[in-house]
């Protein structure tokens, strides 16, 4: 499940919510096996692709729908908060790409690590973070997941294996390989997903890190979220070979329909088993963002509105799950609409609570900079005047 199991089930079974009707009707067979086929076949490089047949259940389908609609509502609300100047600085939204976050979580555990770039809000939510922590961080409040000091690009939840949220393009990939090195060094049966965008795919540090991962057979999975535009530059203008899943050369890869949550789930489960036995693998998620690169980008100067609406109509990840639920008579259209209404209410309540959180104390400027207990001393520019001894 993308969000914590208890949160997802509690929201689905919440009294007075129409979602309870769907769950009640499922009661005895909510875990019954349903086999679906991925929308597109996997394209592979130096590895046999996984099966297109994926097993799911009515409960998982309902949870996917609830989680993805909650993520989307959070991002739409963040857009409004930014325009109201309650969120400042950089802000990169994830709406359209929800299937990657949700499908990945369905295939792994919180002991597996994830590290990503600055489009991180929904990844954090999938790792078990809360809406209040998310909105508080976006607004620079003390109750944020990084105590209001990280903002949009620096969400973090170490206890659930989420290591950020990084603002420097591509810089998180070597850190992810370091996490995988630690997992192998400790002889753990877990993996690290190091995520990056197509705009970072030409970074030299990515190839250096991948080389080390391959030399040492580290349990690393490099996930390229290819939304086809690095800022406002189309992939074909920036990369001579935009087949990013082949970029590892000696490292195998898979191209995955990143708008299909079941394709993502299947690919990530396959990649985890491969990485534990054989070392690194690259997953290229063919996905799409509906918003611009960031809130300063309208997203319509380098692509047409018809292109955006075409993806929404033909490939939207939420609508795919909605169609499956309706096709299997798991819930009615009205019940799904009620889940979406409930999500709007939950998001609005989280925003109200986040607004009540105070700003960080000014003294927090000096915390989380140096390791404590080493008696670090701060001097003036001339090195003569001792200004402070840090704890």
Domains of the chain with bracketed CATH: 34-360 (3.40.50.970), 365-390 (no CATH)
% of the chain residues with pLDDT over 90:
84
Closest CA to 136 of 144, 128, 147, 126: 144
How confident is the model at residue 7, as a pLDDT? 47
N-terminal to C-terminal alpha carbon distance within the chain: 41
Helix (H) or strand (E) holding 165: none
- Looking up tokens 């250096």 gives 208
Tell me the H-state helices in 169-250.
172-185, 204-215, 235-238
Rounded Cα distance between 127 and 104, Å, is 10
Which pLDDT belongs to residue 335?
A: 98
Nearest to 244 by CA among 281, 276, 294: 281
Cβ(147)–Cβ(360) below 8 Å: yes
In 3D, which of 261, 322, 252, 248 has the Cα closest to residue 287? 261
Place 313 in a pLDDT band, splitting at 50, 70 and 90.
Answer: very high
C-alpha 190/C-alpha 113 separation (Å) is 8
Give the separation between CA 233 and CA 301, rounded to whole angstroms.
Answer: 11
| CA gap 294, 299 in Å, rounded | 8
What tokens does 254 get?
A: 């898979």
| CA angle, residues 307, 286, 54, in degrees to nearest 5 | 120
pLDDT for residue 8: 42
Least Cα distance to 295 among 184, 102, 152 occurs for 152
The answer to whether 128 touches 110, Cβ cutoff 8 Å, is yes
Query: Measured between alpha carbons, how far is 35 from 54 in angstroms, rounded to an integer?
Result: 6
What pLDDT is recorded for position 3? Answer: 53
What values do phi and psi take at 283, rounded to 5?
Answer: -115, 120
Residue-wise pLDDT tens digits, 153-197: 999 999 999 999 999 999 999 999 999 999 999 999 999 999 999
Place of tokens 């611009």: 292
User: Between β-strands 253-257 and 43-45, what pairing exists: parallel, antiparallel or unpaired?
Assistant: antiparallel
Can you name the residues that pair with 255 across neighbouring β-strands? 43, 284
pLDDT for the residue 6: 44
Task: Enter the pTM of the model.
Answer: 0.89
Residue 354: other Cβ atoms inside 10 A:
23
Residue 60: enclosing H or E segment and its boundaries? helix 58-83
Nearest to 2 by CA among 84, 80, 50, 74: 74
pLDDT tens profile 63-89: 999 999 999 999 999 999 999 999 999
Q: What is the pLDDT of residues 322-360, one digit of tens each?
A: 999 999 999 999 999 999 999 999 999 999 999 999 999
More confident residue, 8 or 98: 98
pLDDT value at position 257? 98
Per-residue confidence (pLDDT) for residue 339, from 0 to 100: 98
Contact present, 265 and 257 (Cβ < 8 Å): no
Tokens read off for 45: 């490089």
Residue partners of 259: CB distance under 8 A and separation at least 6: 39, 96, 99, 286, 287, 288, 311, 315, 316, 317, 320
Q: Rounded CA gap, 128 and 114, in Å? A: 12
What confidence tens digit (pLDDT) does each residue in 226-247 have? 999 999 999 999 999 999 999 9
Length of the chain: 391
């Amino acid at each position: 499940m993308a969000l914590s199991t208890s949160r997802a089930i509690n929201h689905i079974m919440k009294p007075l919510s129409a979602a309870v009707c769907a769950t009640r009707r499922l009661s005895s067979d909510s875990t019954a096996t349903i086999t679906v086929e991925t929308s597109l076949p996997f394209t592979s490089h130096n590895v046999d692709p996984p099966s297109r047949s994926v097993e799911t259940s009515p409960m998982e389908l309902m949870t996917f729908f609830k989680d993805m609609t909650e993520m989307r509502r959070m991002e739409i609300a963040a857009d409004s908060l930014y325009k109201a100047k309650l969120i400042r600085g950089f802000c990169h939204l994830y709406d359209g790409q929800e299937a990657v976050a949700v499908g990945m979580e369905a295939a792994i555990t919180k002991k597996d690590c994830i590290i990503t770039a600055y489009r991180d809000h929904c990844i954090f939510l999938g790792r078990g973070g809360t809406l209040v922590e998310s909105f508080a961080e976006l607004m620079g409040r003390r109750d944020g997941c990084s105590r209001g000091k990280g903002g949009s690009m620096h969400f973090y939840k170490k206890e659930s294996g989420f290591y950020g949220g990084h603002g420097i393009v591509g810089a998180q990939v070597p850190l992810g390989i370091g996490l995988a090195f630690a997992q192998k060094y400790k002889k753990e049966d877990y993996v690290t997903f190091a995520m990056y965008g197509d705009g970072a795919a030409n970074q030299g540090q990515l190839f250096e890190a991948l080389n080390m991962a391959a030399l040492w057979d580290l349990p690393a999975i490099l996930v390229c979220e290819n939304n086809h535009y690095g800022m406002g530059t189309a992939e074909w203008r920036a990369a001579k070979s935009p087949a990013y899943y082949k970029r590892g050369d000696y490292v195998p890869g898979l191209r995955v329909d990143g708008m299909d949550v079941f394709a993502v789930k299947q690919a990530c489960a396959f990649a985890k088993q491969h990485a534990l036995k054989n070392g690194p693998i690259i997953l290229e998620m063919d996905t799409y963002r509906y918003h611009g690169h960031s809130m300063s980008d309208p997203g319509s100067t380098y692509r047409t509105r018809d292109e955006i609406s075409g993806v929404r109509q033909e490939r939207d990840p939420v609508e795919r799950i909605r169609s499956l639920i309706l096709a299997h008579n798991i819930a009615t259209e009205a019940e799904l609409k009620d889940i979406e209404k409930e999500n709007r209410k939950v998001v609005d309540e989280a925003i109200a609570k986040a607004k009540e959180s105070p700003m960080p104390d000014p003294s927090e400027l000096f915390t989380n900079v140096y390791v404590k207990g080493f008696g670090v001393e701060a001097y003036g520019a001339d090195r003569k005047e001792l200004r402070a001894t840090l704890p």
